[in-house]
Chain A
Amino acid sequence: MSALDFVVLIGSLLGIAFYGIWLTRGRRGLKTYLKGDGKTAWFAVGLSVMATQASAITFLSTPGQGYLGGLGFVQIYFGMPVALIIIAVVFLPIFRRLNVYTAYEYLGWRFDGKTRLLGASLFLLQRGLGAGLTIYAPSIVLATVFGWPLDLTIISSGLVVIIYTVMGGSAAVTVTQKYQMAIIFAGMVTAFCLLVKKLPSGLTFTDTLALAGGFQKLKGVNFSTNVQERYTFWSGLIGGTFLMLAYFGTDQSQVQRYLSGASLREGRLGLMFNAICKIPMQFFILLLGVLIFVFYQFEQPPLFFNAALSHYLAGHHTDQQLHAYETNFDSIHSQTNRELEEWLKARHGGNRTAASAAFAAVLTSHEQGEKIREEAAKSLSAVNSATKANDADYVFITFILQQLPHGVIGLLVAAFFAAALSSKAAELNALGSTTTVDFYRQIIKREETDAHFVAVSKWFTAFWGLVAIGFALYAHLVENLIQAVNILGSIFYGVMLGLFVVAFFIQRVGGTAVFWSALISQTLVFVLYFSLNISYLWFPLIGSATCVILSMVLQIFLHDAREIKMGTT
């Protein structure tokens, strides 16, 4: 990175952070710290909800997902429009009417204290672990850009996020998120335009799509009914609806965002803004990854995108086996290049048979190149366990650093940090507020001043930040960050959603029945996750359906007169 990159990076991030802290100075009440000032307009609510979901992982790891797997990942968001409509119609009016700080307060109001604590615990467990994954992403950027040890970058960037969140509270999160989103969009659009410009001049738009399609990268919809396939239309639409319903409806980091709206109308429109924009946004981020894939068919890619592997490789040039891998990989790529030129020539000349033959040769060469990569990765992992990280997460940052001009590099690194700060701050803020409101204020001190609870909330926020850093130190073990976050959510969200579905729609069921049903269902989901080979998108549906059905059955057996109190409906 050059001096210009540093000026852009530090100027944009510090400018936003100080602006947020300055704008929200003097707001010391618990309500303002946890829920914001309650004056937020729908557009700011919408951007805040979007920024909370779109962490640095979204912008760093999703292009890598597009590079490797194509557009198929977009199917995970197919359930989002329907889920957000349900939340706007059912969840949001209830939360607003009861004027709750956290979604779990509602469970206490509807059922009892133990069910409230269970809901809050599931959230803390899931989000606390998830926070570790989201803190890991900006550390990858730092490690790649500066070549620093990954553990050091995890700890340092984690501490920055903790200080930022503790100082600002919910109001600062909402205020700064819209500017952070502006930087993120500016960075991603610039990267997209420059990437398109960098594609070979002889390659037309349809050539690009045909090339990507030939590698199965444009398969955006898969109607397979095989439940073992991870991303299909059905798993996305049905399983995804439950996943998104649970995430937006029961995860405090999101509930806190749309409850900051000035009115029900502002909250609803903010959610609808996301229902419209999310699929196009993810589509373009994945397409960016697909275009990077096309770009690297013409430009020599590194043997590894992963910074740890690349650094190791650079330091072991004398190793003959590693050198052989690199040489073979480069020569296969040159061969692919020649075959691609033949394919383009035949395609532009209208010779379909020759074009098909040339493309078949391209596919074979590409496969050989990937085999070399796999073998090299295996042999490197065998000699150095620190080189096990997933290559996909490093694709985009490597492309940025190697191919984009100075200034733009600074802008994109700023975009990753803006995304990390915005989502991390919302997560830590929600973790701190849930621990304060649902545990500390319920169990330890019910009557205290606002200033006391704000101070306690800040301490809990810092505590969860440290937990996240601890977990992030082990995040390199996961398959791919963006998938890992969703898998983790899928395991816990189903039962959380089940609790809320029973609360909203099944008035006959009381606290004891739903509490035990939730515990049994969560255990069942754990067992099924480790024993069944099905797409993780089905687990929210399994968890919530089991919780709902079991609670109805248990209620019949329990039929506790204390729970069915007349006159309270």
Chain B
Amino acid sequence: MKRSAAVKSVAPEDDETGLPWLPTWKGVYLIVLINFVLWIALLIALTDFFS
């Protein structure tokens, strides 16, 4: 039997991150991606300067 897997909705309390400086999940995901880009930049710098 085939059923839909779509996420219909999340509970209102789950919709909030509960973090004082990052109230939305989009903000949290953005911080994660910025952190990732910064680490890549650091690794590129290490590779270029010392290899």
Residues of A within 8 A of B (CB): 71, 74, 78, 81-82, 84-85, 88-90, 93-94, 97, 109-112, 209-210, 212-214, 216, 218-222, 263-265, 268-269, 272, 275-276, 279-280, 283, 503-505, 507, 509-511, 563-565, 568-569
Contacts and interface: CB of A to CB of B under 8 A. Distances in A.
A244 to B, nearest CB: 12
B2 A74 contact: no
A283 B14 contact: no
Contact of B36 (A90, A110, A279, A507): A279
Interface of B: 1-5, 7-8, 10-11, 13-14, 16-19, 25, 28-29, 31-33, 35-36, 39-40, 43-44, 46-47, 49-51
B25 A268 contact: yes
A219 B44 CA distance: 8
Contacts of A74: 43
A218 B25 CA distance: 35
Contact of B40 (A85, A93, A221, A505): A221
B46 A71 contact: yes
B17 A265 contact: yes
Contacts of A88: 25, 29
A504 B43 contact: no
A276 B2 contact: no
B32 A263 contact: no
B43 A568 contact: no
Contacts of B8: 97
A78 B17 CA distance: 25
A568 B3 contact: yes
Contact of B47 (A220, A265, A283, A563): A220
A568 B3 CA distance: 6
Contacts of B25: 88-89, 268
A203 to B, nearest CB: 14
Contact of B3 (A89, A110, A272, A505): A110
Contact of B2 (A220, A269, A283, A511): A511
B2 A265 contact: no
A210 B36 contact: no
Most buried by A among B7, B16, B35, B51: B51
Contacts of A90: 7
A564 B2 contact: yes
27 contacts: A81-B33, A82-B33, A82-B36, A84-B32, A93-B10, A111-B2, A112-B1, A209-B50, A212-B50, A214-B50, A218-B47, A219-B47, A222-B47, A264-B10, A265-B14, A265-B17, A269-B18, A269-B28, A272-B29, A275-B32, A276-B31, A276-B32, A279-B39, A280-B39, A511-B1, A563-B2, A565-B1
Contact of A221 (B11, B35, B44): B44
9 tightest A-B CB contacts, nearest first: A213-B50, A220-B43, A264-B14, A81-B36, A218-B50, A93-B7, A275-B32, A569-B4, A221-B43
A218 B2 CA distance: 51
